[in-house]
Amino acid sequence: MITAFDVVEHFGKDEILEVLALIRDRLTPGGRFILQTPNAMSPWAASYRYHDLTHEWIYDPHCITAVLALVGLHEVEIREITPYVHGIPSALRLAAWSVIRAACAVWNLAETGSAGGGVYTRNLMAVAFRPMESISADPRSPSIMESSGLPEAKSAEPTLSSATGDDDCPCICIGMPMKQRR
């Protein structure tokens, strides 16, 4: 399993396919990739996109699903990150969120004719799997990169390292060395 919480939005369109392909390559067949990222479908998307100068791009549920599929990660499940109930105040927050969520769905339905995937929280979580069979096409190959409309990545490559420093550890953390981060 590999996790990336609040990471993918820091890579540009010219970098993300390469980064996700590296992640896919480190997963064992059937391995799970979990990411959390700002949600472009959220009514607060602009504040999340622009409050952090290092955010290059944010995704909606359809876009992140398509990008993950493009690099060979499948069975994508998108989840909202709703308030966690641990007492009366948080139960009230969840109830209020349920009303706001319904209003967002109605608003989107009225404007576009679609509920828009139904994920409106500020962040979304995506869970995807590497297929059990080997991947036949490398997403970094010129034909796939060209068909995506994205130029080749020009920045320093991200590093993949185990959380424990042990290369045999099944849990992987991703990141950029501090000197290479933007």
| 145-161 confidence digits (pLDDT tens) | 444 444 444 433 444 44
CATH architecture of residue range(s) 2-81+121-180? 3-Layer(aba) Sandwich (3.40)
Residue 16 vs residues 49, 118, 150: alpha-carbon distances, Å: 16, 25, 9
Q: Report yes or no on whether pTM surpasses 0.85.
A: no
Ramachandran category for residue 59: left, alpha or beta (phi over 0 → left; psi -120 to 50 → alpha): beta
Say if CB 108 and CB 116 are below 8 A apart: yes
Task: Give me 17's structure tokens.
Answer: 């396919």
Per-residue pLDDT of 98-146, as tens digits, reads: 999 999 889 888 998 887 778 999 999 999 999 987 555 555 544 444 4
Which residues pair with residue 77 across a beta bridge? 127
